[in-house]
Amino acid sequence: MKKWVYLFSEGHKGMRDLLGGKGAGLAEMTRIGLPVPPGFTVSTEACNAYFDAGRQLPEGLWAQVMEAVRTIEDLTGKRFGDPAAPLLLSVRSGAKFSMPGMMDTILNVGMNPAVLDGLQDLTGDGRFAGDCFRRFIQMFGHTVKGIPAVGFEDAMRRCRAQGAEPGATPEAGLTAADLRRTVEMDLAIYREAVGEALPEAPEEQLRQAVEAVFASWFGRRAVDYREFNRIPHDLGTGVNVMAMVYGNLGPRSATGVAFTRNPATGDNELYGEYLMNAQGEDVVAGTRTPRRIKALEHDLPEAYAEFQGICRKLERHYRDVQDLEFTIEEGRLYILQTRTGKRTVQAAVKIAVDMVHEDLIAPPEAVQRIEPAQIDQLMLPSFDPQEKRAAVEEGRLLGTGLNASPGAATGVAVFDADTARQWAEAGREVILVRPETTPDDVHGMVAAKGILTRRGGATSHAAVVARGMGKPCVTGCERIKIDTRQKAFRAGGRWVREGDPLSIDGTTGEVFGGAMATVPPDLSRQKELVEMLQWADAFCEAPCRKTEDGAPRRGLQVWANADYPRDARIALQFGVQGIGLCRTEHMFFEEDRLPLVHQMILNAAEAQELYNAVERCAKDLQQRPQDPRVQEALADARQQVAGSAAVKAYEAALAALLDIQRGDFEELFEVMDGLPVIIRLIDPPLHEFLPRLEDLLESVTALKTRIELLRRHPDIARQAGEPSAADDEAQLARQEPLLSAVRAMRETNPMLGMRGIRLGLSFPGIVKMQVRAICEAACHQARKGNRVKPEIMIPLTGHVNELKVSREMLEHEARAAIQSLGVPIGYKFGTMIEVPRSALTAGEIAREAEFFSFGTNDLTQMTFGYSRDDAEGKFLRRYLETGILAENPFQSIDAAGVGRLIRMAVREGRETRKDLEVGICGEHGGDPASIRFCHQAGLDYVSCSPYRVLVARLAAAQAAMGTIERDK
């Protein structure tokens, strides 16, 4: 006969699969001699057998249950259903994982009118006996039969003889007689709802309760929860049946819950609450105000001392903080449940590190106990939670947008970049509010504490720039209607005007009216965190076994994406080992540089056309050296270049930008002394640096319409109040060429257009200038004694020939720059792998690249065919909501598609070039699941935002440990 039922004394903590978490805990505590009421667990196998048999209890089960009940009777000296010495039972579900939607608890199984009388006689406490019965009817009725609780609560109110205070709980102040009446009424409600009387036979009660627990395993909410969390449906639930102990048996009885350490702070102190003379869920139900656990030392000192000892014992036993339920029956302590205690991340870090010092656990286990993503919460300014709650209650939550860049910011609203800067310079903290941002707004973003936009997704200009700056940002908050002319926005019925206080939470996307206090982060003050990260790094340094190629390899290094020296400094403080991505074009977006950038762009096409003509003629001449017509043409072309205003303007802009970029890079190399710095050449399409086509079109059309109309009516033109026609025409003359330049550069799908390496090959002058700036800066720094490790990265390669041609041209420039300065420095050339084809042909591309850096943002966009800006607010959100996609592929690398390309590229790239340096610089570099993937795929490092470095260090260590574990 199959064994379906296990006495607590027959199990142990390793039997979670068979007994469920709760059952295994009770068995373990019984095994190590803690005071657990006698009981047993019906196994998860029984649950599965029940469903396999079409909701029939399997053969032999009930006999085993009743036999176990007999054992409890023997141990307690009470009898199930015997009014003279009634044994009551609690019945609770218990699956391997705690699961919302599962039936929880039925107390006092075994109650019936006869037992009620017996219990009253036995204890002399009519209130106690009545309370037990009404609880049983209510729980059984509600959880087994689905009768709404509200009817029972109503009954209690109606049965109360004395009036209660306003707002009191339904059961407050019920006398024994009230409770008798309540019981009568509850039985009637039950009969009415179910169509038959409450079963009086204890065995029948127990059978229905056990079956109800089983049935709840396939209840709708439980099934949905498992589907969502990908928990298999065939785990089944156990049923725990235990002798009742009574925390409601008078003044020396109590019931409570407690953590062995403070789950909020991690402090090593008991933390919990209890109620005197209460039962079951009363503590957490909030019906009475419980007392802090320390008070128990005063109320019941012996029981408290025993409890303290048990807590210590359990913590040592489980090597972790425990969350306990206990009951004290007339001074005697019982432990009813133990499980690992949930805690805040602050507490988790402190507890893990403390436990290492207490020799409870080893450092690796401490590192693995922290969810890396939570580290974020330690390192960001955040709003005081209480203040936030209050703001919501006061109706100050104005809307919720995309949580584009985490952190909390508070300040006064401003609606344009110039005001933002002026006010910031005057010492005010401002939040910049814009419909969306453009490069023209960057100086305002620099000045602001936080950025709020109405439009744009997680890769909108505002979002990307804000994340780069580590500045809180909420984008796409469509509920706010901005009137930039009035300098105000409306949300709901409320207006927020320039100068009004405003608070944004970039971690959640919430926008609040009014100011709110923030709590700033400070790594140095978090000594436990610092200690844990040192353990993590030590792990990554040690070689561990790889899953993919079997070769021993160290864990991932963590590098940072940093565009400015100030970002690099922050990253260094957080412990990076290199810069994985410096986006040179972000330097172009700064306000003082934009005019130069415009000058460069607006003259580039014409200048390049002339250069190309010279080149073509020179080539012709090589073929026909004697042909006088070719010689003439070459001279002609050269003269055109020399005389061209466009060429002059283009070259002047490049020369000025060379000086600026050289300065930027020098400082970056200085900060990163001794560490590698990957600098990416210009990537975005040039039109991103110019005003938007639509804005220009609108302005030009308005001007033209006005001019035309005023020409027909010159009399108005002279009237006061109208701008002069000359002004209009001057404006038009400025804007029209710009419009046609922007039009000429317009692209249908700019993401797949003239950018990256394509731009560099079309306008070599720009990238040559950048390479020269990098090399000259490196030489200058090397001369000062700094150790520079520049790595020049070419974006968007799709074909090896693109890289070959670019690299030859740029290496030539690099060598020339280095030779002219006479300081021998080393450098690397490499490429981003962000176009699917580059991953598919990585073996070829590695011939021309000393390093690969996966740009997983673009790689994900192109592999899925998703334009992130377009997708995220629209179908992607729907896909995530409906479960078509389990995860957002822009947050966590899609292993089956994008990940497959990455693994192919790493393998085939290294086949071509053994020492190929491989990393990732997309936003995934800061995502723990993606970091795990990167480790398994054999990458050398992940590069992420400076503010994600701590997360990444921890995740990298866990990934390395994961590999070791699998190899055991």
| Stretch 190-229 residues interacting with a copy of itself (CB under 8 A) | 220-221
**Closest to a copy of itself by CB, 447 or 902:** 902
Q: Which is nearer to a copy of itself, 145 or 758 (CB)?
A: 758
Q: Does 750 bind a copy of itself (CB under 8 A)?
A: yes
Nearer to a copy of itself, 612 or 639 (CB): 612
Q: Which of 281, 673, 844, 850 binds a copy of itself (CB under 8 A)?
A: 844
DSSP conformation letters of 131-160: HHHHHHHHHIIIIIT---HHHHHHHHHHH-
Q: Per CB under 8 A, does 294 bind a copy of itself?
A: no
Reduced to 3 states (helix: H, G, I; strand: E, B; else coil), residue 925 is: helix
Nearer to a copy of itself, 53 or 716 (CB): 716
| Nearest distance in Å: CB 631, a copy of itself | 15
Residues 620-649 that bind a copy of itself (CB under 8 A): 622-623, 626
Which residue of 121, 875, 911, 966 would you call a contact of a copy of itself, by CB under 8 A? 875
Q: What amino acid occupies position 768?
A: K
Our finding on whether 60 is near a copy of itself (CB under 8 A) is no
Residue for token digits 């398994």? 936
* Options 32, 725, 751, 816; binder of a copy of itself; rule CB under 8 A: 751
The span from the CA of 253 to the CA of 151, in Å, is 29
**702-731: which residues touch a copy of itself (CB under 8 A)?**
702, 704-706, 709, 712-713, 716, 719, 721-722
- 309 is written with which tokens? 């000892």
- Residue ranges of alpha helices (H) inside 794-899 are 800-821, 836-840, 842-845, 856-864, 868-871, 875-882
Question: Which of positions 594-623 make contact with a copy of itself (CB under 8 A)?
Answer: 622-623
Q: Residue 807 CB, nearest distance to a copy of itself (Å)?
A: 12
**874 interacts with a copy of itself by CB under 8 A:** yes
Q: Which of 289, 749, 915, 968 binds a copy of itself (CB under 8 A)?
A: 749
The residue (of 701 and 820) whose beta carbon lies closer to a copy of itself is 701
> Least distance (Å) from a copy of itself to the CB of residue 562?
26
Which of these ranges, 154-162, 415-423, 521-529, 795-803, lies near a copy of itself under the rule CB under 8 A? Answer: 795-803
Residue 531 and residue 523: Cα distance in Å, rounded?
Answer: 11
Segment interacting with a copy of itself, rule: CB under 8 A, options 181-189, 279-287, 416-424, 801-809: 801-809
With the C-alpha atoms ordered 233, 235, 241, 245, is the resulting torsion angle positive or negative? negative
Residue 792 touching a copy of itself (CB under 8 A): no
Binding residue for a copy of itself, selected from 77, 359, 883, 915, defined by CB under 8 A: 883
Contacts of a copy of itself in 902-961 (CB under 8 A) = none
Kindly give the interhelix angle for 928-937 and 900-912, rounded to the nearest 10 degrees.
Answer: 30
Shortest distance in whole angstroms from residue 227 CB to a copy of itself:
13
User: What six digits make up the tokens of 764?
Assistant: 């070599």
Task: Report in angstroms how near the CB of residue 415 gets to a copy of itself at its nearest.
Answer: 21
Q: With CB under 8 A as the contact rule, which of the stretches 172-180, 406-414, 492-500, 832-840 interacts with a copy of itself? A: 832-840
Tell me the window of 152-160, 408-416, 637-645, 830-838 that interacts with a copy of itself (CB under 8 A).
Answer: 830-838
Q: Which is nearer to a copy of itself, 316 or 874 (CB)?
A: 874
How many Å apart are CA 952 and CA 933, to the nearest integer?
12
**Non-local CB neighbours of 506 within 8 Å, separated by 6+ positions:** 403, 404, 405, 406, 407, 408, 409, 450, 466, 471, 472, 473, 474
Residue that is written with structure tokens 């729907």 in the block: 878
Degrees, nearest 5: CA angle 225-217-235: 85
Q: Which is nearer to a copy of itself, 375 or 842 (CB)?
A: 842
Which of 871, 906, 956, 960 is the binder for a copy of itself (CB under 8 A)?
Answer: 871
Taking CB under 8 A as the criterion, the residue among 112, 661, 853, 861 binding a copy of itself is 861
Kindly tell me which residue out of 900, 907, 912, 962 binds a copy of itself, with binding defined by CB under 8 A: 900
Which residue among 701, 724, 740, 820 contacts a copy of itself (CB under 8 A)?
Answer: 701
For residues 468-487, which are near a copy of itself according to CB under 8 A?
none
Judged on CB neighbours under 10 Å (0-12, 13-18, 19+), 748 is exposed
- Residues 730, 722: Cα–Cα separation, whole Å: 15
Q: Which of residues 134-173 bind a copy of itself (CB under 8 A)?
A: 148
Q: Which is nearer to a copy of itself, 478 or 659 (CB)?
A: 478
Cite the active site residues.
Answer: 461, 921
Could you say which of 634, 657, 681, 862 contacts a copy of itself (CB under 8 A)? 862
CB of 741 to a copy of itself, least distance (A): 15
Q: Radius of gyration of the chain from Cα atoms?
A: 36
Residue 754 CB, nearest distance to a copy of itself (Å)? 6
Q: Which three-class secondary structure string do you get for 656-708?
A: HHHHHHHHHHHHHHHHCCCCEEEEECCCCCHHHHCCCHHHHHHHHHHHHHHHH
Q: Name the nearest CA neighbour of 413 among 518, 517, 520, 511.
A: 511
* Distance in angstroms (rounded) separating the CA atoms of residues 261 and 269: 5
CA-CA distance, 324 to 308, in Å (whole number)? Answer: 12
Pick from 593, 604, 578: which is nearest to 944 by CA? Answer: 578
